[in-house]
């Protein structure tokens, strides 16, 4: 499987200028290639492919000598990135969706360059990139497996590199345990064995500081001033801190579930659709989509199994007798079955139902449910 390792780069001022220049050239190439595709189709009804555009790179380098300072595979990856954007656009059109047409990248919206195969290497203190040189790197943990690609990214004025490596799966010893996980906004997740994990609400905690920082941006009328640029960077750093806090919390929670259980079952939620409702802020703050993705990746790494179950009526079905109706939800937090009288925490009852629906996957959950009851 593939695993990514991310490290901080510490370029000199000259290297940072070279990196910024490469980002500018790659962005211009992306926009020019997009313009070529648009004009070819609108004026002549002709479709230009990514392979057609890659064949023109030699002519571009001859006409514009500055592109000789960019590694050839980096330029090819720029055109492949645009080609993937068009493939995704047409795929959505074919299934009846209404996607947005690929957009031109403005200054600051093209923030990464990729070395897809070669032209890079890494040692304990430096990372080498063709056409750039050796850059100091903070290698806080060793790389594993075979390095496949390297991506340099600019983030809030700082530089990072992500190495994608091909690594072997490292199975964890079997625990004989299976668990159902119900997620929410009051509690982050509730397991079928009765463990409640608090929702840290990182964005809500940072909202006061964000309001102050965003008002400072709004007061800067001149959009090209250095003061406004610094104010925008302060807002970006606050958002980055919230994102990192959420990611760290998701990593730790997912890792704990994977270490303790052979099977983890959770609801197959339409997180994107739920994020457009009345609870959009709370749902985006809790970040279920990222958590489920990390949980699947860690389970694959440890040879565990993650099962997505149908979320319908998991909160209305009695885990004891199976009776399902809306009246079973006595309140938001309590569950009381009108048929058998069974009472339970509503989220815990839902987690037990989620685990029960994983039974068709060949997992015996009777022992787990009996121990919880």
Please state, in angstroms and as integers, the Cα–Cα distance from residue 135 to each residue in 122, 146, 158, following that order.
9, 21, 13
Between CA 300 and CA 118 the distance in angstroms is: 28
Q: Give the three-class secondary structure for 248.
A: helix
Q: Where are the beta strands (DSSP E) in the chain?
A: 2-10, 112-115, 120-122, 126-129, 133-138, 146-155, 158-166, 178-183, 187-191, 196-198, 263-267, 305-309, 334-336, 343-345
Residue 217, beta-bridge partner list: none
Q: How far is CA 323 from CA 36, 319, 348, 365, in A?
A: 61, 8, 16, 19
155 flagged as catalytic: no
Q: Which of 193, 285, 344, 347 is catalytic?
A: 347
Catalytic site includes residue 166: no
- Among candidate residues 77, 83, 182, 193, the one labeled active-site is 182
**How is residue 53 written in tokens?**
């555009």
CB–CB of 262/174 below 8 Å?
yes
Of the listed 77, 193, 262, 267, which one is catalytic?
267
Burial label for 80, CB within 10 Å (0-12, 13-18, 19+), is: middle
Give yes or no: 193 in active site.
no
Provide φ and ψ at 330, rounded to 5°.
Answer: -65, -35
Name the residues annotated as catalytic. Answer: 182, 267, 347
């Amino acid at each position: 499987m593939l695993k990514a390792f991310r490290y901080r780069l510490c370029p000199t001022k000259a290297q940072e200028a070279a990196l910024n220049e490469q980002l500018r050239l790659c962005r211009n190439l992306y926009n020019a290639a997009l313009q070529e595709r648009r004009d070819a189709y609108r004026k002549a009804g002709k479709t230009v492919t990514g392979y057609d555009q890659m064949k023109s790179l030699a002519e571009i380098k001859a006409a514009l000598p500055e592109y000789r300072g960019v590694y050839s595979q980096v330029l090819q990856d720029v055109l492949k990135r645009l080609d993937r954007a068009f493939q995704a656009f047409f795929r959505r059109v074919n299934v009846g969706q209404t996607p947005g047409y690929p957009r031109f990248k403005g200054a600051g919206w093209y923030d990464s360059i990729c070395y897809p195969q070669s032209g890079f290497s890494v040692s304990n203190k430096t990372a080498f990139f063709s056409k750039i040189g050796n850059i100091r790197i903070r290698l806080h943990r060793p790389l594993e497996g075979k390095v496949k690609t390297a991506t340099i990214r600019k983030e809030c004025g700082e530089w990072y590199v992500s190495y994608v490596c091909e690594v072997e799966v490292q199975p964890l010893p079997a625990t004989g345990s299976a668990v159902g996980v119900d997620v929410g906004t009051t509690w982050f997740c509730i397991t079928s064995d009765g463990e409640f994990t608090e929702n840290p609400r990182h964005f809500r905690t940072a909202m006061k500081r964000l309001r102050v920082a965003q008002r400072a941006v709004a007061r800067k009328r001149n959009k090209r001033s250095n003061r406004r640029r610094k104010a925008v960077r302060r807002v970006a750093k606050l958002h980055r801190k919230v994102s990192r806090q959420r990611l760290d919390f998701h990593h730790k929670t997912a890792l704990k579930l994977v270490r303790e259980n052979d099977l983890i079952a959770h609801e197959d939620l339409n997180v994107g659709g739920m994020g457009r409702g009345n609870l959009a802020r709370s749902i985006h703050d809790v970040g279920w989509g990222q958590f489920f993705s990390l949980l699947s990746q860690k389970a694959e790494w440890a040879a565990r199994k993650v099962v997505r179950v149908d979320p319908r009526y998991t909160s209305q079905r009695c885990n004891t007798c199976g009776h399902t109706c809306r009246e079973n939800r006595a309140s938001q937090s309590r569950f009381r079955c009108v048929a058998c009288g069974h009472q339970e925490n509503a989220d815990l009852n839902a987690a037990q139902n989620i685990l029960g629906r994983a039974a068709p996957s060949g997992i015996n959950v009777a022992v787990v449910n009996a121990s919880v009851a």
